[in-house]
Amino acid sequence: MQAAKNKSFLEPGLFALTWPIFIESFLHMLMGSTDTFMLSYVSDEAVAAVGVANQLVFFTILVFGFVATGTTVLVSQNLGAGLIKDARRISGISISLNLIFGIAISALVVLFKGQFLNLFDLTSEIHRLAGQYLTIVGATLFSQALLVTASSILRANGFSKEAMLVSIFMNIIHLAGNSVLIYGLFGMPQMGIQGVAISTAASRIIAVVMIFWLLYKRLPVKIKKEDYLNFSPVFIKKILKIGVPSAGENLVYNTSQMAMTAIIAMIGAMALTTRVYTWNIMAFMMLFAIALGQGTQILVGYRVGAGDYDGAYHRLLKSLRWSLIMTIVVVIPMVVFRENLLDIFTDNREIINQGGKLLLLGIILEPGRTLNIVIIAALRAAGDANFPVKMAFVSMWGIGVPLAYFLGITMGYGLVGIWIAFIADEWFRGIVMYFRWKSRVWESKALVEQKVQTI
């Protein structure tokens, strides 16, 4: 027999969880930046095409993310409560759910890619290139569904290092594939944007094979065949209780980003390209916040599952302090050398000058974004997932998008005005989320009941 607080599951420390997540997040971002850097030698149009196409890809991946997020929270709470068998069943259900969603979304992206791209005011060349990319990457999105789910299960069980190793392996394959297919090494044709798409798809499929091998090698209680087919309404409801609001928040964010991209496209193709280059660099500024947020989410989930609400409360506050410190430490040198970083991607002085102004604003933007990333992750882990999505809608569509149009287009401030709108949105939400955590309303939102269970 196993009681709720049985310590047969050894809870990892924050650092042990976080550093592999940091490396994994870094590699995921590096994958996108590698595409941008390599395609910059092809054309600025190719860079813009992949940037726009990936917004649609990231939008579709939201569906996979809501199952993965719900799985992470529910598995960690069950492990914290000592309910190992339930954690195993939830893992099997989540993999099956995301495979079904993945196949459906792969078909939708391939069949309706033209209609999706028509949402943006693109030149005919950028539209054509983005369509080529989506045909290949879209058809294999189901592999990403399996990858994010298996990774979330490994991390929730404390095996974040294994998920990191898969990312390293995937990026090596992707880099090698890009080199061969973009530049035509070893007698291969120079395939440009199609080469990037093939490399992306192939690396993800190989990574899926590797991560499932690790899943069965590492988990102390293996997922059984019947777990994949036992679609328990109770567990699915709990996964969706966290996952749907989390997906809703990401949906609001990505639709607002699509609106922002459409506003930027009104300024011109060069502004769109500047946004892609700048956003690639800024993504690295929030790496520590992402890693600490995900690590904190798992640890808060353990504590909430075990009924240790004081421990969960102070765990978030400690993680938040570290996140803000690391964000500032990372942002300052990147701002100082902002033009050198942009020079890696392009020699267009107008893009470098404009992008430099946007990166300078990162000093104000990134701490606000860090507040959101870390606190919202902890709120989800506690089961309080509805509040962040409500505030996301109010802030992003009530403040961010209209302010971006007003400052960027109506007032003529261009990209700088749009970045000011980003800052207003992030800081408003971040402050609200901080007071939500301090209120401790989330203590009544736990998803598991402590009980005795036989493995």
Contacts of 151 (CB under 8 A, 6+ apart): 24, 68, 163, 166, 211
What is the torsional sign of CA 192, 198, 200, 202? negative
Q: Does the residue 153 lie in any domain?
A: yes
CA dist., res. 30 & res. 390, Å (int):
31
Q: 186: domain range?
A: 14-444
pLDDT number for residue 11: 65
pLDDT number for residue 124: 82
Chain centre to alpha carbon of residue 291: 11
Q: Does the residue 5 lie in any domain?
A: no
pTM, rounded to two decimals:
0.74
Phi, psi of 243 (to 5 degrees): -65, -45
Q: Does the residue 454 lie in any domain?
A: no
Low-confidence ranges of the chain (pLDDT < 70): 1-12, 31-33, 448-455
Angle at 262 between CA 259 and CA 263, to 5 degrees: 90
Q: 144 and 159 in contact (C-beta within 8 Å)?
A: no
pLDDT number for residue 149: 92
Question: Number of structural domains, the chain?
Answer: 1
pLDDT number for residue 167: 85
What is the torsional sign of CA 410, 403, 33, 329? positive
CA dist., res. 309 & res. 107, Å (int):
44
pLDDT number for residue 236: 86
CA dist., res. 67 & res. 61, Å (int):
10
Contacts of 100 (CB under 8 A, 6+ apart): none
Q: 442 and 384 in contact (C-beta within 8 Å)?
A: yes
pLDDT number for residue 209: 94
CA dist., res. 151 & res. 316, Å (int):
23
Q: Does the residue 451 lie in any domain?
A: no
Q: Does the residue 9 lie in any domain?
A: no
pLDDT number for residue 32: 65
CA dist., res. 361 & res. 419, Å (int):
7
Q: Does the residue 263 lie in any domain?
A: yes
Phi, psi of 361 (to 5 degrees): -70, -15
Q: Does the residue 220 lie in any domain?
A: yes
Q: Does the residue 274 lie in any domain?
A: yes
CA dist., res. 303 & res. 369, Å (int):
25
Single out the residue of 370, 120, 125 nearest to residue 264, CA to CA.
Answer: 120
